[in-house]
């Protein structure tokens, strides 16, 4: 399998996808919304009314138990820290999955709708190169947008909270692992699923539904932390990263056998 041929497929998809203003806007707005919600929520908790007025002692105790590394923080610091390590990573992972679903669903289903799939099927490349090219076509723009928006979020949150913490504290290690390591690995897994689904779906709308199953584990972890029943430590995140990367490699190998031009022809 040659990477240069896969990148040729990806470049073709970039030209097709980003010629659509709606497609480009959906990618930009997904991460712009994540930045806006993260920054505004942090500002409200760090600079607004004392959040301790709206929390009982039991709730504060439960929150400190979920975030043991922040046990020595004030209520205001703890509230801002909670946004940075629980809410914001969840938003980035969710929006990354949503963005990749939109882009990846267009991979084969979009080609079929635009009546351009015949030249693609006749291209002198292997099935593996075709599959990888379609995945990279969504993965690289999403990854770039995610890292740029995360960097902007870090800058704005530090500007807003440097007086509260007395230093540039954001992002902590847990947030870096969740956003910069787990999110790309999880999004890549979602892309592989959607690309395979797009090869069998007749419309882009149908193909975009294949990654929906990946939202449920995210929601379960998020709700577990919010309600104090799940404590996520750095070691857990490192283990999850190893498992996700292994799943990515395994899924790519399985997909190389499951994906074929014949499946595209039958789906037509």
Burial class of residue 213 in the structure, from the number of CB atoms within 10 Å of its CB (0-12 exposed, 13-18 middle, 19+ buried): exposed
Instruction: Look up the domain containing 256 and give its range.
Output: 3-267
Number of domains in the chain: 1
pLDDT at 6: 73
pLDDT at 126: 73
Which residues neighbour 33 within 8 Å (Cβ) at sequence distance 6 or greater? Answer: 95
By the 8 A CB rule, do 57 and 23 touch? no
Cα–Cα distance measured from residue 153 to residue 31, given in angstroms and rounded to the nearest whole number: 10
Which residues neighbour 82 within 8 Å (Cβ) at sequence distance 6 or greater? Answer: 63, 67, 70
Per-residue model confidence as pLDDT tens for the chain (268 residues): 566 767 777 777 777 666 667 667 777 888 899 999 999 999 998 888 888 787 888 888 888 888 888 888 999 999 999 999 999 999 999 888 887 777 776 666 666 666 666 666 666 777 677 777 777 777 888 888 899 999 999 999 999 999 999 889 999 999 999 999 999 998 888 877 776 665 565 555 555 566 677 788 888 888 888 887 788 889 999 999 999 999 888 877 776 666 655 555 554 4
User: pTM higher than 0.75 for the full model?
Assistant: yes
Cα–Cα distance measured from residue 229 to residue 65, given in angstroms and rounded to the nearest whole number: 9
Instruction: Output the CA–CA distances (angstroms, integers) from residue 14 to 24, 99, 222, in the order listed.
Output: 10, 14, 33
By the 8 A CB rule, do 134 and 108 touch? yes
DSSP string, 64-88: HHH-GGGTTS-HHHHHHHHIIIIIH
Q: Which of 181, 185, 193, 195 is nearest to 244 (CA)?
A: 185
Q: How many CB atoms lie within 10 A of CB 22?
A: 7
Measured over the CA atoms of residue 59, residue 164, residue 223 and residue 250, the dihedral's sign is negative
pLDDT at 259: 61
DSSP string, 88-148: HHHHHHHHHHHHHHHHHHTTTHHHHHTT-HHHHHTSSS-HHHHHHHHHHHHHHHHHHHHHH
Which residues neighbour 188 within 8 Å (Cβ) at sequence distance 6 or greater? Answer: 135, 139, 248
With b for 16 or more beta-carbon neighbours within 10 A and e for fewer, the 173-182 pattern comes to: ebbbbbbbbb
Q: How many CB atoms lie within 10 A of CB 130?
A: 25
> How is residue 75 written in tokens?
């209520």
């Amino acid at each position: 399998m040659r990477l240069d041929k896969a990148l040729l497929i990806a470049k073709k998809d970039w030209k097709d996808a980003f010629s659509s203003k709606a497609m480009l806007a959906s990618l930009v707005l997904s991460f712009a919304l994540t930045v806006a919600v993260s920054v505004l929520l942090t500002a409200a908790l760090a600079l607004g009314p004392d959040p301790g007025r709206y929390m009982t002692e039991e709730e504060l105790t439960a929150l400190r138990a979920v975030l043991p590394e922040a046990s020595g923080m004030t209520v205001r610091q703890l509230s801002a820290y909670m946004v940075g390590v629980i809410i914001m990573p969840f938003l980035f992972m969710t929006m990354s999955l949503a963005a990749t679903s939109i882009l990846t669903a267009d991979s084969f289903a979009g080609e079929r709708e635009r009546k351009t799939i015949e030249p693609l099927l006749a291209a002198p490349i292997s099935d593996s190169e075709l599959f990888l090219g379609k995945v990279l076509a969504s993965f690289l723009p999403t990854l770039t947008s995610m890292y740029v928006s995360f960097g902007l979020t870090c800058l704005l949150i530090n500007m807003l909270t440097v007086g509260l913490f007395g230093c540039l504290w954001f992002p902590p290690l847990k947030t870096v692992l969740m956003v910069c390591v787990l999110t790309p690995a999880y999004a890549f897994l979602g892309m592989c699923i959607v690309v395979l689904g797009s090869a069998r779906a007749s419309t882009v709308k149908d193909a975009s539904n294949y990654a929906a199953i990946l939202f449920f584990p995210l929601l379960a972890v998020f709700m577990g932390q919010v309600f104090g029943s799940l404590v996520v430590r750095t070691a857990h995140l490192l283990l999850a990263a190893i498992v996700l990367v292994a799943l990515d490699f395994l899924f790519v190998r399985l997909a190389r056998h499951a994906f074929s031009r014949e499946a595209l022809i039958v789906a037509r």
